[in-house]
Amino acid sequence: MNRWQSVFKHGRALSIRTNQRKGSQDSSGSWGAVAAGVSVAALGYKVFSEKERYLIQAKGVDVTPEQKSFDNRIRQYNTPDMVFNYFASLQLVDKSGMKTTMMSPMDFFSAITPDCSIHPGAGSGVYEEVSQQKLKTLRLDKSPVKGSILNEIGRNGLISYVDYCFLLSLLSTPIRFVDTAFNLFDLTGNEQINAKEFAYVSTKISTKLGGFGTYTDVDQSAILASNSGLLNYLFGKDREKCISRDEFRKLQKDLLDEIIELEFNEFDNEGSGTISEGAFCRFLLNKTKIPPSQKAKMLKRVDTIWPKKARGISFQSFKNFFLVLASGTELERGLFFLDVENIGVELEEFRKVASWVIHNEVSPHTAEVVFVLLDDAGEGRIFKESVGPVLFDWRQPRGFDKSSIQLGQLKI
The pLDDT value given to residue 216:
66
> Domains in the chain, start-ordered, CATH in brackets?
3-132+147-254 (no CATH), 269-402 (1.10.238)
Mean pLDDT of the chain: 79
Q: Which residue has the higher pLDDT, 49 or 223?
A: 223
- Return d(Cα 101, Cα 84) in angstroms, integer: 9
pLDDT at residue 281 above 90? yes
Q: Model confidence over 191-230: pLDDT tens digits? A: 999 999 999 998 888 877 665 666 666 778 878 888 899 9
Q: Model confidence over 65-120: pLDDT tens digits? A: 788 888 888 888 888 888 999 999 898 888 888 888 899 989 999 999 888 766 66
